[in-house]
Amino acid sequence: MTRRALPEKISALNDLALDLRWTWSHRSDRLWEALDARTWQATGNPWLILQTISLDRLVEASRDRAFVEELNLAVSERLAYINDPGWYGTSYPKPPLGAAAFFSMEFGLGESLPLYAGGLGILSGDFLKAASDLAIPVFGVGLLYSQGYFRQIIDHSGAQLEAYPYNDPTTMPVFPVLDEGGGLLTVSIELPGRALMVRVWHARVGKTRLLLLDTNHPLNSPADRGITSRLYDESRERRLLSEITLGVGGWRALSAMGIEPEVLHINEGHAVFAALERTRALMLATGLAFEEARWATRAGTVFTTHTPVASAFDVFEPALMIKYFRDYADTLGLTIGEFLALGRANPSGSSEPFNLSFLAGRMSGSVNGVSRLHGEVCRRLARPLFPRWPEDEIPISHVTNGVHTPSWDSEQADTLWTRTCGKGRWMGSLEGLSESIAAASDSEIWSMRATGRKALVDYVRARLSRDLGQRGGDPEAIERARWMFDPNALTLGFARRFTRYKRPTLLLTDPLRLRKILCDPSRRVQLVVAGKAHPSDLEGKEMVRAFLKFIEEYDARDHVVFLEDYDIVTAQNLTMGVDVWINTPLRPWEACGTSGMKVLVNGGLNLSTLDGWWAEGYSPDVGWALGDGDEENSLEHDERDADELYEILEHSVIPEFYGRDMEGIPRAWVSRVRRSMSTLTPRFSANRMMREYLERAYVPAAAGFERLKANNGAGARLLNAWRVEIANGWDKLHFGDLHVERAELTHRFRTELYLGELAPDVVRVELYTEHREGAGAQIVMDRGEPIPGATNGWFYTAAAPADRPAAHYSPRVIPYHPEARVPLEDPHILWQR
């Protein structure tokens, strides 16, 4: 938290330690190891080293010529990186985006900053790292938890216990943000009967910055000081308060720092209150009413949902929302009923709970899922918000997640990729990358895999020995752990949250068959397992115990290990060394599932259900698939899927891995690895993901926001007037008769439409038909002559191909405005039949 006074020659260590770029760039690793090898190996936290090391050791280092030279090289390299305009600067000489604010409940950047629970947080951390590498101007906004998510402890019986160690800010690479007067920056949030004081912290992530908020302020009550204590607190009230702190407090912190992002990116519904606060701020600045201001702010807001099932939406009871938002709604010029309607599928449903994802959809101009399949699932989940609209037209797209490859590649993989593709391979457009890595020889690839597997075996031995020792384990067991596993054996990995839909115990369906697979003396197989169950998920905890029980009862200690307290460090070691990553979720419950992407850069292969990213990444030459992807899984399919999993291992994976030629190389296996590395690694990288967000979401959002807020919100006022006109006049709009004539190759449609009070240019009349593949097609109908004797009645005509019956076409009316996103911003629709 406080910069330590260092000897002048090594004073730059402070800047190096406070830049989290060291979580993926290892240029300065030798410096930290030289200063304090024990602390570096145990924590990987340079800032902790600087806070705890003795002054004598620092003075000694400042007199070490080699150390100072190495430091100067590291500093020069960092400054060159920071000052480089990067892909964004060179691709956009006239930047279309000043700044984007990326709000997320969790960020997983490294174990020195443990502010994450799982995949969502790791994705958020990788997002910021990729933005830094590409020099895209993104500010992360999150919470600085004093305890964060729980740490897992496995007792002697195999039961999961939870611990919540204190996160000491003085040992974390963060520092407080100062206000204009040099004091600690604090923002306040009005709560019933009190003001919540929120402190603002700052972490450097290369070229990007991460703002972190906490409520552990001396002026807050003891209860309020604990709002940012635990990530995803089980108390619904504290959960809501933490989300208010993130959203409302986060936007106020940006404003207090003079940061005015054109784009707000809501990463999952937890952060949606930032969109409300942004709208309120625009109202105060321009005098716009809420609905007017919402047109401008939603144009500049992007919402990414990671939720695959309706039951996973973050919802709150109306009474709790009324308690904390009655006064806030008043500042928006809304009644509490109007406010609650924003978070309900049925705006008039007085007993319906308040859904943060529904609110996010109504506050955003762009909504996306995190894989192609997840986009389809989201469109189904959102149908209540778009009644009578065809599912394929529900306005939810997808940007498939990606992983920050420099954070996940092993030293051996980095060497191979650097030789074939260059040092800056992940900092540009990725053109030619696939062809370059594909040129690596079989021996190079196989050697890289062997070295990575050996490193994982060494890690497993050291980690298990340490864990056993910390639990006061039997000395004989500790000694045995130091020799377990075979660096030449096929190594499988399975690590994720232990919950029913992920089916972590599918491998244990037939324990005798699994043991036979693992313990074949001529074709050894070993399995590394890790993962946590939510503290309240008793079934998940039993699944953890089941693996420990299998290891004991089936004498599989030499072939299976369960590593407790799954974290980023464990994930990095696993994904660098496993030969095959196994994933067995129920389709389509895995929104994306980025863990399997992390093995790609290291030459690991995937064996997974065709769900999430694997549904679009799989082909027979890059890995293996469970199921055919044509239907959704159910729990009744467990036995069938387990049998298929065993079959794939027995008859495909194991024979191919051990099918060696005269040189000892499994050519078919290496060919599969090469294909996976070259085709999938760039495709599922955070580099590709980040560029997609910029080009498909951020740039259009920034332009839309600037247009609508210009001239004191003139464009937003016009759009809202259009919305009011549509809302007031829609009920009077109706069709008359439909006439169809068959020409030689076309059907000619002529329909009567009575517009009531609506002007013809505020609607669009279309002829809709469903494609044979399932997606819809629209033909705009032309407005012709007025209907004789009618008030504001018109004939509309269109021609359509006659390759299908006329009955397959249906006229419809939808709202129209060149600046409006229909149906996201206005879901009205009227069908003739």
Q: How many CA atoms lie within 13 A of 144 on its CB side?
A: 29
pLDDT given for residue 264 in this prediction: 98
Do 499 and 618 belong together in one domain? yes
Residue 219 is assigned to a structural domain of this protein: yes
Q: What residues contact 427, with CB distance under 8 A and at least 6 apart?
A: 86, 87, 133, 134, 687
Mean pLDDT of the chain: 94
pLDDT at position 774 over 80: no
Q: Residue 358 corresponds to which tokens in the numbers above?
A: 């529904």
At 342, the pLDDT band (50, 70, 90 cuts) reads very high
Is residue 359 one of the residues assigned to a domain? yes
Q: What is the pLDDT of residue 346?
A: 87
Give yes or no for residue 2 having a pLDDT over 90: no
Task: Give the number of other Cβ atoms within 10 Å of residue 803's Cβ.
Answer: 9
Residue 368 inside a domain? The answer is yes
For 12-37, give the DSSP string. THHHHHTBGGGGT--TTHHHHHHH-H
First to last CA, the chain: 66
Q: What is the pLDDT of residues 15-48, one digit of tens each?
A: 999 999 999 998 899 999 999 999 999 899 999 9
Is 397 in the same domain as 412? Answer: no
Chain segment 162-171, per-residue pLDDT in tens: 999 999 888 9
Do residue 699 and residue 755 come from a single domain?
no
Least confident residue range of 186-190, 477-481, 657-661, 692-696: 477-481
Confidence category of residue 742, pLDDT binned at 50, 70, 90: confident
Q: pLDDT tens digits for 360-382?
A: 999 999 999 999 999 999 999 99
The pLDDT tens digits of the residues spanning 85-140 come to 999 999 999 999 999 999 999 999 999 999 999 999 999 999 999 999 999 999 99
Q: How confident is the model at residue 669 (pLDDT cuts 50, 70, 90)?
A: very high
pLDDT, average across residues 765-781: 83
* Amino acid 635: pLDDT: 64
Q: How far apart are the C-alpha atoms of 230 and 146, rounded to whole Å?
A: 7
Q: What is the pLDDT of residue 10?
A: 95
* 83, 106, 131 - which closes a domain: 83
Confidence tier at 147 by pLDDT (50, 70, 90): very high
**DSSP class of residue 64?**
-
**What is the DSSP secondary structure assignment for residue 334, as one 8-state letter?**
-
Mean pLDDT across the stretch 466-480?
Answer: 82
Q: How far is CA 570 from CA 365, 459, 527, 531, 595, in A?
A: 38, 9, 14, 10, 12
d(CA 77, CA 707) in angstroms, rounded, equals: 40
Indicate if the pLDDT at residue 1 is higher than 60: no
> Is the same domain home to 512 and 616?
yes
In whole angstroms, how far apart are CA 184 and each of 14, 171, 187, 200, 250? 20, 18, 10, 8, 16
Q: pTM value?
A: 0.95
Tell me: do 454 and 598 sit in the same domain.
yes
Mean of pLDDT values over 700-725: 97
Same domain, 412 and 397: no
CA atoms within 13 A on the CB side of 116: 23
Please tell me the predicted confidence (pLDDT) of residue 4. Answer: 82
Q: Is 572 within 8 Å of 582 (Cβ atoms)? A: no
Q: Percentage of the chain surpassing pLDDT 70?
A: 98
CB 246, CB 143: distance < 8 Å: yes
Is the alpha carbon torsion for 751, 757, 760, 762 positive or negative?
A: negative
584 token code pair? 């067995």
- Tell whether 530 and 635 lie within a shared domain: yes
What average pLDDT does range 337-351 have in this prediction? 90
Q: Are residues 554 and 699 in the same domain?
A: no
CATH number assigned to the domain comprising residue 774: 2.60.40
Residue 1 lies in a domain: no
CATH number, residue 527: 3.40.50.2000
Instruction: Give residue 62's pLDDT band: very low, low, confident or very high (50, 70, 90).
Output: very high
In a domain, 783, yes or no: yes
Distance CA 457, CA 284 (A): 60
Q: Sheet of 782-786: strands edge to edge? A: 734-742, 746-754, 793-801, 782-786
pLDDT, tens digit, 9 for 90 and up, residues 382-398: 999 999 999 999 999 99
* 598 located within any domain: yes
Question: So what's the pLDDT on residue 777?
Answer: 86
- pLDDT value at residue 347: 84
The string of DSSP codes covering 130-176 is HHHHHT--EEEEEE--SSBSPEEEE-TTS-EEEE-----GGGSS-EE
Q: What are phi and psi of 734, to 5 degrees?
A: -155, 155
Tell me how far apart the alpha carbons of residues 575 and 135 are, in angstroms, rounded to a whole number.
27
Contacts of 56 (CB under 8 A, 6+ apart): none
451 found inside a domain: yes
Tokens of 363: 């506050």
Q: Looking at the structure, do residues 60 and 178 belong to the same domain, yes or no? A: no
Q: Kindly report the number of other CB atoms within 10 A of residue 489's CB atom.
A: 19
Distances (CA, A) of 118 to 12, 495, 530, 801: 33, 11, 12, 51
Residue 734 has pLDDT above 90, yes or no: yes
Domain count across the chain: 4
pLDDT at 630: 65
pLDDT in tens, 777-792: 899 999 999 999 999 9
How confident is the model at residue 387, as a pLDDT? 94
Range in 513-517, 630-634, 798-802 with the lowest mean pLDDT: 630-634
Whether 569 and 643 share a structural domain: yes
Residues 144 and 243 in one domain: yes
pLDDT confidence tier of residue 775, bands split at 50, 70 and 90: low
Question: pLDDT by residue (tens digit) across 206-241?
Answer: 999 999 999 999 999 999 999 999 999 989 999 999
Q: Which domain holds residue 761?
A: 733-831
Residues 55 and 129 in one domain: no
Model confidence at 335, pLDDT cuts 50, 70, 90, reads: very high
For residues 270-293, average pLDDT: 97
Q: Would you say residue 601 lies in a domain?
A: yes
Give me 816's structure tokens. 């129209």
